[in-house]
């Protein structure tokens, strides 16, 4: 039985119907939230020239984390590892004609050549939401509010997930005050980013290694305790006031150690974490004010975030919020009594479909028990039986699998009966 199988490519996933249902569920919530804020759906190519990323992204990304291959002419093609460069190009190409600010969102596959682990694969789906053409803290807050609105919509409460916020300009000023020169800041940002990922002694050794004095290290520690630091930043005060007005203040917290790894963030940065810190970042984003310029356009400010499908799924699972989705769209299974009555069953199924129901038939004659069992396994709520007795009277027997209730009705009353049974749970069943 166990034939030699061709395995999936490392780090990729098969989407069986139940997985596909969840992916679609995520997509529908993302769409609903993005559209509630007036964002338009868009997408870029999955294949891009290597140069698109070489132009702006870090060396590491392109050289070690992207799937790159030559096409038949020898040009180097990349499976997109992120969407932002494509967005930047799309904006730059139509910079003069696009109405700013533009608000765009997307959900699609991305690839990174990484070592797969829990919550991280080589092929994953990512929700991207960006606002381009606005450089205000209120714009930043809108993006954070979209993330928060998604959490609220799927049932994640502020005690469970938080969006942690900081601001790079604020941190820059603080580092300045500690006497850390500009050329050292990038390394120090990196150091701060690793604060919670390293043991204290290793972290301090690393800090000393990049040239920080003991006094400066103590200064950083003091900084990390300053959860009120945002009050000294005009940008963040406006950010939090806007978050308050948008009704998501409870999801958002100032966190001085949030800095984000990416070099191109220029102002506010944020990421969402589960409260217990069991999982990696659920979403991450921030303000990038020079992005479009890097692919040849005039500088346009932007702010956005991305959320991968894998971590959010783990988080939903952990909090018991992963939905139980119907296994099958079918509302009715029409059984096949025997070979002579097969066509009668097909006719009934078609009649029910014409009445707007979603109907599948058992594909061949079989013992009724087996067919009922199939309906049970597939989660089909209503079973129709069309045997000699029913056919002789122009009727059909309907059974509701949930309650066990069973009635015999005229053929032309069947659809109404099914609808009456299903009405409370699927009001939109009709076409």
Please state, in angstroms and rounded to a whole number, the distance separating the CA atoms of residues 302 and 135: 7
Residue of 30, 34, 61, 143 interacting with RNA (CB under 7 A): 61
76 beta partners: 70
Residue of 30, 44, 48, 65 interacting with RNA (CB under 7 A): 65
Residue of 136, 160, 290, 397 interacting with RNA (CB under 7 A): 397
Diameter of the chain measured on Cα atoms: 95
- The number of angstroms, rounded, from the C-alpha of 178 to the middle of its chain's C-alpha atoms is 39
Q: Which residues, 150 to 189, sit near RNA by CB under 7 A?
A: none
Residue of 147, 219, 285, 301 interacting with RNA (CB under 7 A): 285
Is residue 289 a contact residue for RNA (CB under 7 A)?
no
Is residue 399 a contact residue for RNA (CB under 7 A)?
yes
Is residue 404 a contact residue for RNA (CB under 7 A)?
yes
Stretch that binds RNA, among 3-11, 40-48, 207-215, 232-240 (CB under 7 A): 3-11
* Total residues at interface with RNA (CB under 7 A): 58
Report the nearest approach of RNA to the CB of residue 234 (Å).
25
Nearer to RNA, 249 or 365 (CB): 365
Is residue 148 exposed (0-12), middle (13-18) or buried (19+ Cβ within 10 Å)?
A: buried
Is residue 378 a contact residue for RNA (CB under 7 A)?
no
In angstroms, the Cα distances linking 109 to 53, 80, 115, 359 are: 17, 8, 17, 32
Q: Which residues, 17 to 56, sit near RNA by CB under 7 A?
A: none
* The pairing of beta strand 76-79 with beta strand 47-49: antiparallel
Is residue 140 a contact residue for RNA (CB under 7 A)?
no
Stretch that binds RNA, among 32-40, 162-170, 369-377, 414-422 (CB under 7 A): 369-377
Nearer to RNA, 135 or 368 (CB): 368
Stretch that binds RNA, among 33-41, 135-143, 345-353, 367-375 (CB under 7 A): 367-375
Is residue 261 a contact residue for RNA (CB under 7 A)?
yes
Is residue 79 a contact residue for RNA (CB under 7 A)?
no
What is the per-residue binding string for RNA in 198-237, x denoting contact by CB under 7 A? x---------------------------------------
Stretch that binds RNA, among 139-147, 190-198, 248-256, 344-352 (CB under 7 A): 190-198
Q: Which residues, 291 to 310, sit near RNA by CB under 7 A?
A: 306
Residue of 152, 390, 411, 421 interacting with RNA (CB under 7 A): 390
| Closest C-alpha to 334, from 367, 360, 370 | 360
Residue of 47, 406, 416, 425 interacting with RNA (CB under 7 A): 406
Is residue 114 a contact residue for RNA (CB under 7 A)?
yes
Cα-Cα end-to-end distance for the chain = 43
Reading the block at residue 175, the tokens are: 């580092």
Residue of 159, 367, 394, 424 interacting with RNA (CB under 7 A): 367
Please state, in angstroms and rounded to a whole number, the distance separating the CA atoms of residues 417 and 415: 5
Which residues are at the interface with RNA (CB under 7 A)?
A: 1-2, 7, 10-11, 57-58, 60-61, 65-66, 81-84, 112, 114-120, 190, 194, 197-198, 260-262, 271, 280-281, 284-285, 306, 337, 367-370, 372-373, 375-377, 383, 385, 387-390, 397, 399, 401-402, 404, 406
């Amino acid at each position: 039985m166990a034939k030699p199988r061709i395995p999936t490519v490392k780090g990729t996933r098969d989407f069986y119907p139940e997985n596909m249902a969840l992916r679609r569920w995520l997509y529908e919530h993302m769409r609903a939230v993005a559209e509630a804020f007036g964002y338009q759906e868009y997408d870029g190519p999955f294949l891009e020239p290597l140069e698109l990323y070489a132009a702006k992204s870090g060396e590491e990304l392109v050289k070690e984390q992207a799937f790159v291959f030559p096409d038949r002419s020898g040009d180097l093609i990349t499976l997109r590892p992120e969407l932002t460069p494509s967005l930047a190009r799309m904006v730059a190409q139509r910079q003069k004609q696009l109405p700013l600010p533009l608000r765009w969102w997307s959900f699609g596959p991305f690839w990174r050549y990484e070592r797969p682990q829990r919550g991280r694969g080589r092929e994953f789906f990512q929700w991207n939401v960006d606002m381009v053409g606005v450089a205000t803290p209120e714009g930043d807050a809108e993006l954070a509010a979209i993330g928060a609105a998604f959490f609220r919509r799927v049932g994640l409460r502020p005690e469970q997930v938080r969006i942690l916020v900081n601001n790079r300009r604020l941190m820059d000023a603080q580092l300045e005050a500690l006497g850390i020169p500009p050329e050292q800041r990038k390394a120090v940002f990196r150091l701060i980013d690793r604060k919670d990922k390293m043991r204290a002694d290793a972290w301090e050794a690393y800090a000393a290694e990049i040239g920080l004095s003991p006094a400066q290290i103590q200064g950083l520690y003091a900084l990390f305790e300053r959860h009120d630091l945002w009050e000294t930043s005009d940008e963040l005060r406006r950010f939090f006031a806007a978050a308050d007005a948008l009704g998501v203040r409870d999801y958002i917290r100032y966190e001085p150690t949030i800095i984000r790894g990416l070099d191109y963030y220029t102002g506010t940065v944020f990421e969402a974490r589960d409260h217990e810190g069991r999982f990696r970042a659920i979403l991450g984003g921030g303000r990038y004010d020079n992005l479009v310029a890097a692919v040849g356009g005039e500088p346009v400010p932007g702010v956005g975030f991305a959320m991968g499908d894998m971590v959010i799924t783990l988080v939903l699972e952990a909090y018991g919020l992963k939905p139980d989705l119907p296994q099958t769209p079918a509302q009715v299974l029409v059984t096949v009594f025997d070979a002579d009555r097969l066509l009668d069953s097909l006719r009934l199924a078609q009649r029910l479909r014409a009445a707007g129901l979603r109907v599948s038939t058992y594909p061949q004659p079989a013992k009724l028990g087996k067919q009922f069992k199939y309906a049970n396994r597939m989660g089909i709520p209503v079973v129709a039986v069309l045997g000699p007795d029913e056919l002789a009277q122009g009727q059909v027997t309907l059974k509701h699998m949930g309650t066990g209730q069973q009635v015999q009705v005229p053929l032309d009353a069947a659809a109404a009966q099914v609808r009456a049974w299903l009405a409370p749970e699927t009001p939109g069943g009709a076409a």
